[in-house]
Structure 1
Amino acid sequence: MKILKFGGKSLSNGDGINKVVTIITDKVNQGEQIAIVVSARGNATDELEEILDIASKNGDYKPLFEDFKKYQQDDYQEVDLSEEFNVLEKLFEGVSLIGDYSNKIKDQILSKGELLSAKLLTAILVENGINARFADTRELIKTDSKFGDAQPLEQISKKNVINYFKQNNGTTVNIVTGFIGSNNNNDTTTLGRNGSNYTASLIANYLNADELQNYTHVDGIYTANPDLVLDAKKIDHLTFNEANELANFGATILHAKTIIPLLEKNIPLRILNTFNHENKGTLITSNSNKEGIKTLSVLENVSLVNLEGRGLLGKTGVDARIFRVMGDNDISVSIISQGSSERGIGLVVAADKATKAMIELEKEFENDFYSKDVNKITVTDNVSVISIIGQDLSTFHKPYTALIKNKIVPILFNNTVTGKNVSLVVKKSQLNKALNVIHGEIFGVSKKINIAIFGHGLVGGTLINQILESAATIEKRKDIKLNVFAIANSSNVLLNKNGVTPNWKNEIQNNGFSYTIDDVIAYANEHHLENLIAIDNTASATFVENYIPLAESSFDLISSNKVANTLSYSFYKKLRKVLADNQKSYLYETNVGAGLPLIDTIKLLHLSGENITKIKGVFSGTLSYLFNNFSAKDASFSEILKEAIDNGYTEPDPREDLCGNDVGRKLLILARELDLQNEFEEVDIQNLIPEHLREGDVSDFLNKLTEFDPIYAKIKEEQKPNHVLRYIGELSGDLQNDKGNLEVKLVSVPSDTALGGLKGSDSFFEIYTESYGDRPIVIQGAGAGSAVTARGVFGDILRLSDKG
């Protein structure tokens, strides 16, 4: 028998659950004996927790609960889920009335995600002719009463599972709820977050399964997180020990407790992709096929607690006292190591436990402060841990030296007793670069980067010149050779496998020829050009159709063109599937903030699990200039607008800026970075142009600019005192659902706020997150201009090609 476990994204509405049904059906038709363990569908667990939190604060949780029910029921109205919905309704009502809840109540609520998932999948399979049976693990997995993180009682749980499967096996496909169990009083318990993986490994252990197949939304385990390290490669094989190190050091694809039940029975674990199930994934077994470094793993949301003092070095019992304090306060220590000072000890703990750890250690070492054996106990936030799985200390000097050369000095490091894994603590701001430096040094990246640039107008032409001017310096400093082998516009292309010259403008006029995208791809193949990057600096809606053939032909993509990210959501997902299938990258930092690191920041926050709750700001440098000056000066709107036109801040037809569509597109791009499925038509855009001026030719429009004046003079006059006008984009709503609220609008804000104090043509963004609360992350700077945008594209090139 094989155990198949499906994660939340795999079971999400639409393509996800359809793929799951197909996989199960295929295996049944092939005569395989299988059992299925399921997680909650989509983001159900997080959503239930959010609704619970709102209910406990007497908030209006009912709209969110209705959205939850609608998503879980989806198009399967014939499936009866009323029992779970009714129980949830009563529990939420009770919590709302009392204004509080226990962990016991929370477990009852969170368990419904898996119950709904298993019941729905069972019903769909039965409808498709599969002999499926719903299996409630609350009747099988017996646990202690530690609600929220219950531990299974092995003997009785094993007996229950074996007996159940004896009675319900043969042609039956059991659909088993992950994550949940019950105590001896039959109270519902949960096994901790990611506990569905643990359930699956326990079931595999009890039934002596041939293999546990863990279906996720990625092709397997990579040499590093492919979102952070662009040339990361899928690993075909790992040992249980290596996988356990990965789990302990932040690999979210594995649960730390998953490995032990499998290791006990030597049951292979295979990580597979639901959405690409023909891929063989990563196989994890007891036996290693080869020695050496396998992968880089990252542990985020941690802090470093430092104890410094002259009396710590060589003093007996210090470590015991530290760990006693940690144990008494339920604080897990990921790493303990000699710190940057020879008289210091560093501890890596969860970020939300760091302050507690510091306070309790200060109490423990109070007398040592008086004797001056301890000087201070401090917390360093915003750090991350990078673990090199399989790293032997005898060769560790290579990645370490590469880090130092890139001005990344680890705060501390340690290695395991086996000497085969090394962990580094680095500043979180340096995490991305550090990963790329280490990965490049360990796994190797070719020096030559071959670039095709499409569009050589203001941005494209500036970029080409920036590359040519900087190429020698970059090669000397970074050992990377940037080779622009193709320059094209809508009609002609210039090709040179050895790279274009500074005289490229004349060369394309004299030697350029008509082309299709296939000609560029064929040229690259013919000349065996490696590390290919295609850069789209056009504003063309048709050129983005070339992205898919380019990605399929081994090109990474970089774009300052916003179109590809704002077409239909189906195209957006299709492109990303092609990129994933071909393990190619697509960078577009300049799509929203020109040269500002906005998208990268949001990606890192989202990837780390940070819950982004709202994004708002001034997305257009043109409209920033317009309203900053209109608010500050005693001048008419038309005068300021003409000034912007004369300075080249607007498009040739200023209505392209004033209609708000460009801001709307930028806002949509950010929404999709958060996995929201909004379409452009759903963006609520306030058009700044009076209706009667929206049509007609440009020259006629430019002659009627004064017709703006009475409209905006009135808006300006009707503001509260000390207020200014700003044209903003705002993304809000429940961003854990499939869609958010996207608004582009003119607002009046106090002049003494950060937004109100904006000057010049700067762009300005506020990112609100769950962790930061009411204090947003602010990104501000030049948001327009060909040089700034070109430099942002250049930055994306270096991110793709930097080997450290």
Structure 2
Amino acid sequence: MRVLKFGGTSVANAANIQKVIAIAEQFKNEKIVVVISALGGVTDELIKAGSLAAEKDESYKEVLEALEKRHLDTAKTLLPVTLQSSCLSKVKQQFNELDEICEGVYRLNELSLRTRDRIISFGELMSSQILAAYYAAIQQPHEWLDTRQLITTNNHFGFAAVDFALTNRQIQERVKQSPANLFLAPGFVAATKEGHTTTLGRGGSDYTAAIFAAALQANALEIWTDVNGMMTADPRWVPNAKTIDQISYQEAMELSHFGAKVIYPPTIQPVMNKKIPVWVKNTFQPQAAGTLIENIPSSEGEIIRGISSINHIALLSLEGSGMIGIPGFSKRLFEALASEEINVILITQSSSEHSICVAINTADADKAKKVVDAAFETEISNGKVDPLKVERNLSVIALVGDQMKSHPGISGKMFASLGSNGINVRAIAQGSSERNISAVISYADVKKGVNVLHESFFEFDYKQLNLFITGLGNVGGKLISQLAQQKKYLQQHLKLNIRVAGMANSKNMLFKEEGIDLHNWKEEMQTGEPMQLDAFVDTIVSKNLHNAVFVDITANADVAGIYHKLLAKSIAVVACNKIACSSPYAYYQQLKSLSAEYNAQFLFETNVGAGLPVIGTLNDLLRSGDRVNSIQAVLSGTLNFVFNNYDGTRPFAEVVKQAQDEGYTEPDPRLDLGGTDVMRKIMILAREAGEQLEMEDITNTSFLPASCFDGSVDDFYNEMAKHEAHFKALYNEAATAGCKLKFVASYADGKAQVGLQHIPAAHDFYHLYGKDNIVLFRTQRYAEQPLVVKGAGAGADVTASGVFADIIRAAKV
């Protein structure tokens, strides 16, 4: 004996019903019971019709007409024309009866739970009778079972409790006395001893099948649905969710209780008691292995089986000093909730007995508030207990696995993973069986939370990083090319998958949660919406993606001014933009503090030396206990390029223009030549070394005539041309002394300065060519010979590579 249950999507239309028939045909040589759900979506429509009728809205008739047409069309498609009349007549008869019931509801302006059960029972009754008509048409022996005559329940309409002793006897007698091998039965539907129709709760067709399987001691129960089995997480939220090959009854119950909708929670109990294996399989991929639910020894299996959640939760908190040491508070709380039939999903209590928290469905929150405050009215009025506190818009997220109890550190890993993505845990519960660890979090974070935990416990292939890039110019374009080029390498060697989920430039912004095509990004950007910085930031925050990183490749002060909003939402920031770290010290310190508080990386290696490991080296020295005595550096690739290429034979302005054309300068070259950019860089290094330095604290000995700073960039070039004699004199003076000109930044004893210097041949800076930068760290450990970092300090490729390296650091791999 085998019991097969087919869900609503499996019988949504005639084409799908043919798939059901083909699956059932595989078991023609054994006795089977086929339990059928209503056609997909029909139950919701029936509920809608009843509700509209109760509201005296005549549009309920349109709903019923559409349902009648759908059932008639399904029967006509499924059955030969010559054999349709009996089935069509039965469908019409059922809808006539349904129309009469709804008309009564309309007239009374009332929909009782008993009448509601009667209305929604028609879905399963009609779908199973249409299938029975098909088997009659092809003359295959079968028997249609009216579950209202076999499954007896109490009168708790909507979620009736089964009388198993009577039900088992009725099913056994009916099936064993029949010569048929094929039985068809409507799921979900039952009846009281008095014959009043009841239902077994939404998803009750699974339960119906389990009741039949247990009563008949079936060899197996098969739940046929539209997925390949139970999954490690909801595949609508987690694209990489995996099918669970095998799972214990207890684990399956936990997962189904916590929102895994593949199987209805009460289904497991009847078959578990009889040790009947349960298969969850896919009607549309019948060859897939599916999930086997059976009795698994406690020493076997994966540590974590799955991750699930219950949404639309409210957290009730009863607190007060008068609760400490006084017995009975918990009992009174639960009695008050039980009196209103409010189901408690999760319980947690502080060890001080000062508070107790319970999670319930949000729909019951107002009712709970009223009944609990009434129950503790005396204590509340005396100030011993606070009025019940209700928090809404929450979810419960749960890890499930039999093996958790024998593996320490699971809960630590769970909460560390949530915390690293800025997900706040409001309450925690773990059963004594240690099969389930549950946490109450914000509903807004539940999708991210499920993804974070799934990545931590199941995705060993790679870690997902979601980037939002602003600034798509020369450096930004190079970065995107590098990301595209290194995609496979990162997956293979670092187990890291980087997805660009958003981009923005000065004109447009684009978001694609599934990832922007990095080979076609320029064309995709054309389809973006107009760029608005606040909207760009708000969208990043609202998407709430796990492992999110904001990448700033601009020189824009407004962009630098929003870092704090992102860090406070646990979104990492990678900044090529130097403005934030060279802003007033208070903002720099705020960003560092937010980074630590919200566990969000704030990385800005390219602020000094482009792709050179200058800041990283400095931080490594300090973390290892060293102390900086002084820093000497040539920090402008632009100025080094200019003075390496200027020898008085061609105009100084022409050399500067070459540097700009080759991408070495800031958009406004005066930031480089005026020393502002170098001042920012030495200040950032001083700050990283622990100095509270501001821009006005830095001495800048400028070599540019004052008039060069007036007007536009074009005016700047014109002024430089006028002062060519000045620049030639600077060069000649250095050359005469056997020196080279270098724009040097230095920091020592709490003071910093920048300016043009004569560098003799014996100095470390003398042989510095092209656009190279050099930094000399003199520390307690490197007192006699400095630690030197030297290399290309400008250029789109090396700057992009430095940003790329920070992105990888942000992944914490």
Superposition TM-score, scaled by structure 1 size = 0.58
3-state secondary structure, aligned to 1:136: coil
Work out the CA distance in 2 between the residues paired with 1:312 and 1:467. Answer: 63
> Which residue number corresponds to residue 76 of structure 1?
75
Work out which of the residue numbers 34, 42, 45 in structure 1 matches 2:43.
Answer: 45
Look up the SS of the partner of 2:184 in the other structure: strand
What's 1:428 paired with? Answer: 443
1:298 is the counterpart of 2:309: yes
* Structure 2: distance between partners of 1:445 and 1:125: 48
Query: Which residue of structure 2 aligns with residue 650 of structure 1?
Result: none
Q: Which residue of 2 aligns with 1:610?
A: none
Partner of 1:335: 346
Is 1:272 the counterpart of 2:270? The answer is: no
User: Partner of 2:107 in structure 1?
Assistant: 97
Query: Aligned partner of 2:344: which letter?
Result: V
Contact in 2 for aligned 1:132/1:174 (Cα 8 Å)? yes
Match of 1:322 among 333, 337, 349: 333
In 1: Cα distance, 2:495 partner to 2:397 partner: 29
Partner deviation per Cα, 1:751-799 (whole Å, 9 max, x = no partner): xxxxxxxxxxxxxxxxxxxxxxxxxxxxxxxxxxxxxxxxxxxxxxx9x
* Contact 1:441/1:803 (8 A) holds in 2: no
1:443 paired residue among 458, 464, 486: 458
Judging changes above 3 Å, is the alpha-carbon distance between structure 1 residues 103 and 557 closer, same or farther for their aligned structure 2 residues? closer
Contact 1:440 1:803 in 2 (8 A): no
Query: Could you tell me how far 1:465 is from its partner in structure 2?
Result: 6.3
1:601 and 1:129 mapped to 2: Cα distance?
58
User: In 1, Cα distance between the equivalents of 2:269 and 2:530?
Assistant: 46
Q: CA separation of 1:461/1:35 partners in 2, compared to 1, >3 Å: closer, same or farther?
A: farther
Say if 2:150 is the partner of 1:135. no
Which of 246, 253, 256 is equivalent to 2:255?
246
| AA partner of residue 40 (structure 2) | G
Taking the aligned partners of 2:309 and 2:125, their CA distance within structure 1 comes to: 32
CA 1:463/1:431 → structure 2, altered by over 3 Å: closer, same or farther? farther
- Matched AA of 1:312: M
SS of the residue aligned with 2:364? helix
Residue in structure 2 matching 1:211, options 211, 220, 223? 220
SS of the residue corresponding to residue 292 of structure 1 reads coil
Change in CA separation of 1:213 and 1:461 when aligned onto 2, cut-off 3 Å: farther
**Of 271, 284, 290, which aligns to 1:262?**
271
CA-CA distance at 1:177 after TM superposition: 0.9
Distance 1:136 1:532 in 2: 54
Task: Work out whether residues 339 and 411 of structure 1, in 8 Å CA contact, stay in contact via their aligned partners in 2.
Answer: no
Instruction: Sort the Cα spacing of 1:122 and 1:536 in 2 relative to 1 into closer, same or farther, 3 A.
Output: farther
Which residues of 2 match residues 427-506 of structure 1 at below 5 A?
427-447=442-462, 462=472, 469=479, 483-485=483-485
In structure 1, give the amino acid aligned to 2:408: S
The amino acid of 2:118's aligned partner reads Q
Match of 1:388 in 2: 399
Secondary structure of residue in 2 paired with 1:257: helix
Q: Does 1:62 align with 2:76?
A: no
Q: Shift of the alpha carbon at 1:427?
A: 0.7
Offset at residue 591 of structure 1 (A): 11
Q: Secondary structure at the match of 1:275?
A: coil
Indicate the SS of the match to 1:384. Answer: strand
Assess if the C-alpha contact under 8 Å between 2:128 and 2:185 holds in 1: yes
Q: Would the alpha carbon gap of residues 600 and 140 (structure 1) be closer, same or farther in structure 2, given more than 3 Å must change?
A: farther
Q: For the residues of structure 1 that align with 2:454 and 2:498, how far apart are their CA atoms?
A: 20
1:2 to partner: Cα distance: 0.9
Distance 1:448 1:229, change over 3 A: closer
1:520-669 equivalence runs, <5 A:
558=515
Shift of 1:536: 12
Post-superposition CA distance 1:312-359 (Å, at most 9, x none): 233311111111111111111111103699732111001111111111
Q: Secondary structure at the match of 1:336?
A: strand
Q: Tell me, what secondary structure is at the counterpart of 1:200?
A: helix
SS in 2 for 1:411: strand
Measured against aligned partners, the alpha-carbon deviations of 1:257-281 in whole angstroms (never above 9, x if no partner) come to: 1111101110011111111111111
Map 1:654-693 onto structure 2 (within 5 A): none
How does 1:86-165 map onto structure 2 within 5 Å?
86-128=96-138, 130-165=140-175
Aligned pair partner of 1:419 in 434, 453, 456: 434
The amino acid of 1:414's aligned partner reads A
Give a deviation string over 1:250-303, Cα, whole Å, max 9, x none: 222222211111011100111111111111111111124425111111011211
Name which of 23, 31, 34 aligns with 1:33.
Answer: 31
Separation in 2 of the partners of 1:14 and 1:88?
23
- Partner residue, 1:311: 322
How big is the shift at 1:419? 2.0
Please say if residues 38 and 118 of structure 1, whose CA atoms lie closer than 8 Å, have aligned partners that are also in contact. yes
SS in 2 for 1:223: coil
Equivalent-residue separation in structure 2 for 1:431 and 1:341 (angstroms): 30
Aligned residue runs from structure 1 range 192-203, under 5 A = 192-203=201-212
Query: Residue deviations 1:722-762, cap 9 Å, x none?
Result: xxxxxxxxxxxxxxxxxxxxxxxxxxxxxxxxxxxxxxxxx
Among residues 409, 415, 431, which one is paired with 1:400 in the alignment?
A: 415
Q: Are 2:196 and 1:226 aligned? A: no
Q: 1:73 to 1:10 in 2, by over 3 A?
A: same
- Please list every run of 5 or more consecutive structure 2 residues that lacks an aligned counterpart in the other structure: 77-83, 503-512, 519-526, 546-806
Q: Contact 1:8–1:39 at 8 Å: present in 2 too? A: yes
Q: CA deviation at 1:409?
A: 2.1
Give the Å deviation of 1:311.
Answer: 2.2
**Distance in 2 of aligned mates of 1:197 and 1:22:** 20
Whole-Å separation in 1 of the counterparts to 2:248 and 2:500: 40
CA distance in 2, matches of 1:187, 1:559: 57
TM-score of the pair, normalised by structure 2: 0.57
Aligned: 1:364 with 2:375: yes
Shift of 1:47: 0.4
Quick check: 1:23 aligned with 2:23?
yes
Q: Secondary structure at the match of 2:144?
A: strand
Q: What secondary structure sits across from 1:139 in the alignment?
A: coil
Displacement after TM superposition at 1:188 (Å): 1.2
Q: Secondary structure at the match of 2:357?
A: strand
What displacement does 1:450 show?
11
SS in 2 for 1:138: coil
| Displacement after TM superposition at 1:101 (Å) | 2.5
RMSD: 3.8
State how far apart, in whole Å, the 1-side matches of 2:473 and 2:241 are: 27
Report the CA distance shift for 1:215/1:590 in structure 2 as closer, same or farther (over 3 A).
Answer: farther
Residue 631 of structure 2 corresponds to none
- For residues 530 and 23 of structure 2, the distance between their equivalents in structure 1, rounded to whole angstroms, comes to 39
- CA deviations 1:690-711 (Å, max 9, x no partner) are xxxxxxxxxxxxxxxxxxxxxx
Change (3 A) 1:82 1:368: same
SS in structure 1 opposite 2:33? strand
Q: 1:213-265 deviations in whole A, cap 9, x for unaligned? A: 00111111111112222322111111111111112222222222111110111
Shift of 1:125: 3.3
Q: Deviations over 1:39-90 (max 9, x none)?
A: 1111111100101111112212111111111122224232331221111011
Unaligned runs of 5+ in 1: 454-458, 472-481, 487-495, 500-523, 538-555, 562-588, 605-797
How many angstroms apart in 2 are the aligned matches of 1:63 and 1:803? Answer: 57
Whole-Å separation in 1 of the counterparts to 2:108 and 2:363: 27
Residues 583-636 of structure 1: CA deviation (Å, up to 9, x unaligned): xxxxxx9899996999999999xxxxxxxxxxxxxxxxxxxxxxxxxxxxxxxx
Q: Is the 8 A contact 1:450 1:485 kept in 2?
A: no
Distance 1:115 1:441 in 2: 45
Structure 1 residues 601, 284: closer, same or farther in 2, change over 3 A? farther
**Paired-residue identity, %:** 31
Counterpart of 1:88 in structure 2: which amino acid?
A: L
1:150-186 CA-to-partner distances (Å, cap 9, x unmatched) read 222222211211111123244x311111111111221
With over 3 angstroms needed to count, the CA separation of the structure-2 counterparts of 1:603 and 1:200, relative to structure 1, is farther
